[in-house]
Structure 1
């Protein structure tokens, strides 16, 4: 599939078939896309937690009201000690690296015929504690992954975009 067509097709799925399992081969491709994602100085500070068990999914349900019944949730975190630090020592690449990884996985899911939804309505500190992550890891996002329920469609504003001239400036 053409990349632009894939980007247009992908949407935030708000209702999944909870009993339709994601094939391991497809999940492996999604995870591979995350592994191949570029990170600052190729530091690869990300860690992806695959949450599939009933216990793990209930835990995610307690962290956010925005899990939509997917059979798999990918928790994307980064290790604060493995990030590139920008000159000036004010910022590091952790959140951006994890976001690039997550975006690659989200698009790979769409390419594999899976639906997904980026979940960000949760407290990252509570998520790290609940998932019992190491102290030096920060959770950036949770990604619902699975097959959309029958009849589920993108939100009405899915195809609405601002004009290019509002989003891009040439200098």
Structure 2
């Protein structure tokens, strides 16, 4: 499958069937995250894979899981962060985004739905999973088989801003 076709097929899923993700598929998704690029190859990701019912309930204290049987807690190790010297911007959140995107695309390729969540209570996750202070819970990647199938891959023509509204050539312009 061509990359752009796969990217168009990936969609947010917020209702999952009560079917676990098979180990082979989970391993494939994790490998996609493993090969994702990170700034200076620092690989700050620390991923907690949650599949046991009791641990899913722990995650649910911080955010809903939409019936998923598999949640990844994507954390960032802050001990060796790459900091941009001009404005002190840390590359870690960008790295986590790239890693998570790779895993979402790999999941879709093999028929697994996903939703990436940043709006969760990290203190609950930290407490429930005994995460040390230098490890930052950054995102939840909720995975599973979609209860109601996937969205239409052609939805982007109506659900996205026109390309020319988001792209500027050579300089920034409010009128693009």
Question: TM-score, with normalisation over the residues of structure 1?
Answer: 0.91
1:54-112 Cα offsets, whole Å, 9 max, x none, are 111001111113x2111100110110112211114622111111111111101110011
Q: Which residue of 1 aligns with 2:173?
A: none
Please give the root-mean-square deviation of Cα atoms over the aligned residues, in Å: 1.7
The answer to whether the 8 A contact 1:73-1:142 is kept is yes
CA distance in structure 1 between the aligned counterparts of 2:130 and 2:101, rounded to whole angstroms: 24
Q: Structure 2 residue aligned with 1:90, among 78, 88, 91?
A: 88
Matches within 5 A, 1:131-170: 131-149=129-147, 151-154=148-151, 159=156, 160-170=159-169
CA distance in structure 2 between the aligned counterparts of 1:110 and 1:31, rounded to whole angstroms: 13
| Stretches of structure 2 lacking an aligned partner (at least 5 in a row) | 171-176
What count of residue pairs does the alignment treat as equivalent? 167
Q: 1:107 to 1:123 in 2, by over 3 A?
A: same
Q: Cα offset for 1:129?
A: 2.4
Query: Match of 1:118, SS?
Result: strand
CA distance in structure 2 between the aligned counterparts of 1:27 and 1:82, rounded to whole angstroms: 28
Q: Cα offset for 1:152?
A: 4.2
The answer to whether the 8 A contact 2:9-2:151 is kept is no
Query: Match of 2:79, SS?
Result: helix
Structure with bigger gyration radius: 2
CA distance in structure 1 between the aligned counterparts of 2:21 and 2:121, rounded to whole angstroms: 27
Q: Cα offset for 1:116?
A: 0.7
Question: TM-score, with normalisation over the residues of structure 2?
Answer: 0.88
| Stretches of structure 1 lacking an aligned partner (at least 5 in a row) | none
